[in-house]
Amino acid sequence: MSSPPLLCLFLSLIVVFAGTVSPARASDELERGGGGGGKQREFDYFALALQWPGTFCQRTRHCCANNGCCRGSNSPGIFTIHGLWPDYNDGTWPSCCTKSHFDPKEISTLNEALEKYWPSLSCGSPSSCSGGKGTFWGHEWEKHGTCSSPVFHNEYDYFLTTLNVYFKYNVTSVLNDAGYVPSNTEKYPLGGIISAIENAFHISPQIVCSKGAIEELRLCFYKDFKPRDCAIGADAKIDMVTKKASCPKYVSLPETVSIGRDGLQSWESNDAAL
């Protein structure tokens, strides 16, 4: 019988951090720009972007096998990983830093954990850095992972470490413990959600909303994965909390609607809850 995935991942983390880690923002990430190929300067920090499926999946209008929103009762009801993004302190970011093509075989031993905690929430095929279409994981590696040198030099370490940072900084658990649970009727104070994160991790997050519902929450880290605020300076911090004025003072965490794979989605968004 194989070892529990979480145990294996945490044991492997010791190797990753010892061997590869240097001691030392539109709501849809696919729209993020940045550089494209060529030599780009080394990044300043990491942003761990987490998606709230209950908000994201409301846009699902048809189902497919690779869409995490289409797993019926097994659809995710927790924050899932969108990506680990190398960013610059000036608000820009590098992208597509090398010509390294994604090889799914390199992370095959992580598939079970990735499917559960880093699923695609779309049926579309995101573009690759070479201009073609690829997988969600491939997009994240080619666009962002290739820019994470000198911390990471290969796919496996990039995905494994992202999973372990996600487990260590369990946003869903922190919010649930503070009383912020999935609901299609409740609205929660944005300041309270931010305070819960700050009290737990001693950093200020970045939050992105869609129609009054939290869609994405980002935690930021130095290159050695010690936590840091996602903004520099007071003005930037205010802008961070109200990213593009997308979040009102009271926000919702909608429940994930059960959508099966064998047909079109038949429900409509509950605007009253948003």
DSSP label at residue 108? G
CA angle 246, 81, 143 (to 5 degrees): 90
pLDDT tens digit sequence for 209-231: 999 999 999 999 999 999 999 87
Candidates 29, 82, 139, 255; catalytic one:
82
- 82 a catalytic residue: yes
Per-residue pLDDT band for 99 (boundaries 50, 70, 90) equals: confident
- 198 a catalytic residue: no
Candidates 139, 144, 216, 255; catalytic one:
144
- 153 a catalytic residue: no
Q: What average pLDDT does range 179-197 have in this prediction?
A: 96
Share of the chain above pLDDT 70, in %: 75
How many other C-beta atoms lie within 10 A of the C-beta of residue 264? 10
Q: Residue 172 in contact with residue 179, Cβ under 8 Å?
A: no
Which homologous superfamily does the CATH classification assign to the domain defined by 45-260?
Ribonuclease T2-like (3.90.730.10)
Residue 271: is its pLDDT beyond 50?
Answer: no
Rounded Cα gap, residues 207 and 244, in angstroms: 10
Cα-based distances in Å from 55 to 215, 254, 256? 5, 6, 7
Q: Is the pLDDT higher at 261 or at 138?
A: 138
Does the reported pTM lie above 0.75? yes
Residue 233: is its pLDDT beyond 90?
Answer: no
Residue 10: is its pLDDT beyond 80?
Answer: no
pLDDT score at 127:
83
Q: What average pLDDT does range 104-133 have in this prediction?
A: 92
pLDDT score at 196:
97
pLDDT tens digit sequence for 61-81: 788 888 999 988 888 999 999
Candidates 29, 140, 215, 216; catalytic one:
140
Q: Residue 75 in contact with residue 258, Cβ under 8 Å?
A: yes
pLDDT tens digit sequence for 154-178: 999 999 999 999 999 999 999 999 9
Residue 244: is its pLDDT beyond 50?
Answer: no
Residue 130: is its pLDDT beyond 90?
Answer: no
pLDDT tens digit sequence for 136-152: 999 999 999 999 999 99
User: Distance of alpha carbon 232 from its chain centroid, rounded?
Assistant: 21
